[in-house]
Amino acid sequence: MSRPGLAGAPELLSRIAREYGTPAYVYDLAAVGSAAVALTADLPAPSGLVYSLKANPHPDVVGRLLADVDGAEVSSSGELAAALAAGCPPEEVVYTGPGKNLRQLVEALTAGVRRFSVESLVDRDRLADACERTGTDAEYLVRLNLPRGSARGALRMTGRPTAFGTELADTEAVAALLRARGRARPVGTHTFSATNVEDPAALLQEFHNAVAAVRLVCDTADFTPRLLALGGGFPAPMARPGALVRHPDLAAGLASGLDATFPGWRRGRPRILFESGRYLTAAAGTLLTRVLDVKSSGGRTFVVLDAGVHVLGGMTGLGRLMSPGARPLTVGGSGDGEETEVTLAGPLCTPLDVLSASTRLVGPRPGQLLAVPNTGAYGPTASLLGFLSHPGPVEVVVDGPRVRGARRLVVNSEEVAPRV
Ligand SMILES: *Cc1c(COP(=O)(O)O)cnc(C)c1O
> DSSP assignment of 183-252, as one string?
TEEEEEEE---EES---HHHHHHHHHHHHHHHHHHHHHHT---SEEE---------SSS--PPP-TTHHH
| Residue 151 within any structural domain of the chain | yes
* Best residue among 42, 52, 73, 279 to mutate for probing ligand 1, ranked by most atoms within 8 Å of CB: 52
Residues 320-365: tens digit of each pLDDT = 667 888 999 999 865 567 889 999 999 999 888 999 999 999 989 9
Question: Is residue 60 one of the residues assigned to a domain?
Answer: yes
Q: Are residues 81 and 216 in the same domain?
A: yes
DSSP 8: G
**Closest atom, ligand 1, to C-alpha of 231:** 11
102-110 and 121-134 helices, crossing angle to 10°? 50
Residue 2 has pLDDT above 60, yes or no: no
Listed residues 250, 281, 312: the one ending a domain: 281
How far apart are the C-alpha atoms of 253 and 208, rounded to whole Å? Answer: 9
Look at residue 24 and tell me if it is in a domain: no
**Best residue among 65, 119, 195 to mutate for probing ligand 1, ranked by most atoms within 8 Å of CB:** 195
Binding site membership of 95 for ligand 1 (Cβ less than 6 Å): no
Using one digit for the tens of pLDDT, what is the confidence trace for 393-405?
999 999 988 999 9
In this prediction, residue 245 has a pLDDT band, given cuts at 50, 70 and 90, of very high
What pLDDT shows up at residue 158? 57
Domain at 367, CATH number = 2.40.37.10
- Domain co-membership, 59 together with 109: yes
Same domain, 184 and 47: yes
- In one-letter notation, the amino acid at residue 72 is A
Q: Same domain for 290 and 227?
A: no
Q: Tell me whether residue 16 is in a domain.
A: no
Q: Is 97 in the pocket of ligand 1 (CB under 6 A)?
A: no
- Enter the pTM of the model: 0.93
**Could you tell me if 80 and 90 lie in one domain?**
yes
The reply to whether 176 and 294 lie within a common domain is no
CA atoms of 285 and 396, how far apart (whole Å): 10
As a whole-number percent, the residues of the chain with pLDDT over 90 amount to: 84
Same domain, 311 and 270: no
pLDDT tens digits, 11-68: 999 999 999 999 999 999 999 999 999 999 999 999 999 999 999 999 999 999 999 9
Q: Is 364 in the pocket of ligand 1 (CB under 6 A)?
A: no
Q: Is residue 197 located within the same domain as residue 304? A: no
Name the β-bridge partners of 92: none
6: in domain:
no
**Number of domains making up the chain:** 2
Q: Is 355 inside any structural domain? A: yes
Among 230, 247, 275, 278, name the best residue to mutate to test ligand 1's pocket (greatest count of ligand atoms within 8 A of Cβ). 275
Ligand 1 atom closest to the CA of 236, numbered from 1: 7
Handedness of CA 121, 125, 127, 128 (dihedral sign): positive
Quick one: 344 and 215 in the same domain? no
We report the CATH number of the domain holding residue 164 as 3.20.20.10
Final residue of a structural domain among 281, 306, 321:
281
Q: Which domain holds residue 292?
A: 283-408
Q: Would the CB of 195 count as within 6 Å of ligand 1?
A: yes
Shortest-distance Cα residue to atom 6 of ligand 1: 277
User: Which percentage of the chain shows pLDDT scores above 70?
Assistant: 93
Query: Which atom of ligand 1 is nearest to 190's Cα?
Result: 13
In a domain, 396, yes or no: yes
Identify whether residues 142 and 226 lie together within a single domain.
yes
Same structural domain, 277 and 311: no
Same domain? For 263 and 357 the reply is: no
228, 259, 281: which is the final residue of a domain?
A: 281
Does the beta carbon of 278 lie inside 6 Å of ligand 1? Answer: yes
Map residue 4 onto helix, strand or coil.
Answer: coil
